[in-house]
Structure 1
Amino acid sequence: MGGVLFVAVVFLVLAAFFALTWRLGPPLQFMIVFAFLGVVVADSNLADRKLEQACENGLGVVVKSRAERVEGVRFAFRYSVDQGSAKDFGYRFVEAQGFSASELRVDRSTFVDGKEGMTSSTEFSANYALARDVSENGRLVEYTYSVREIDSGNELGRARWFVLRGAWVDRIIDNFSDGGPREFVATCHQGSEYGQMKALLHATLSPLES
């Protein structure tokens, strides 16, 4: 239904444009329309190329040092952990404050002796943390992940992930779509953000066998 509505709105806008500019004549009117569409396409292609170059040049994991026999990891940013998170990441426990949790609640996913579980606590217990910094250049958003020893603050390694925020045309189209508006319209084609986080963690924090 959203797609039909979008097409109808496009036809209405074009009809209004041609009605208001009828004195210019069809050749000039069509030239203006095609010039506008050309700018939109060029802008989209430029943004896609910028994302592609960032992904090609910036997805490597940089390791400064490595810790052995690590039991668990703290996410130093809001992250939703579930019962399978510890097993998925390969540690005995993974802990974080959820998106809807209070500042005093810590969700902890556990995987010990082959058993998955979930607990809550008022304090973190991990010795190492996965931190995330976010920066934005135009529509390109960069996530920089780093693993740090909590007590000393020493950084063991870092990795990056990139996403492309939608331009105004993307947002208009999304507003008419059945799925609703999206914050981002594209990510790196190779790998995934989860894969980058896991690769960084395992490159710097060797898990203790569960």
Structure 2
Amino acid sequence: MDIDTRQPRARRARILSPLVGIAVTGALLAGCAAPSSPTPTVTQTVTAPADPAPSPSPSASAPAADASPTGIGDVELGAPFDEAVAAAGATPVEACPWLASAEDDGYMLTVQRPEVSEQDPAVVVLVQASASPVDLEGKPATGPVTAEGIGLGSRVDEALAAYPDAVEIESVGDRRYLAVESEAGAGSVFLTYTAGTDIIWAVTATTLEEPPYESCA
């Protein structure tokens, strides 16, 4: 027996017609509510670096190696005294004009010429960085350091490990020097500490046989 399916199709068409009308009406309303100008599109371009930046090494923050037999920092042994004093930003000591000093980051810089100079102009025979041992306690080496990284706040055993041929010199009272570097035609580097302690509190470059106990008595 044949079944006539035309009537159901017509019925479905009539049922869908209101739905289609609602959809069209909604689309028209949405079109009216939409902004007249299109929303701008923001494009962000991210460029990756060709090579990642290298990580700083542990020694990146260490002081520069600028204490040597030829001088300390910008002050060179044998340089005209007045020029060296100006370069270091030092101030002559009123009571002892053969000395000049400047306070730097945590230490004192001293520049010295002969008290009675045979040269004109007088030249630098000593430049020293020093600090109070109390202020250096428990801190890493600071200020000018030698090529081996020894400076203010270093320990005597560290200096001896870095310079096994260092010569110990006894001075007045309990002051001690370690002669750690020398260079022919230049000068020598001395590390100063106090007997019974192990903190190096002065680094000296000088053409003298050893640092004087008192430069301005």
Question: TM-score under structure 2 normalisation?
Answer: 0.23
**Which structure would you say has the larger Rg?**
2
Q: Which has the higher helix share?
A: 1
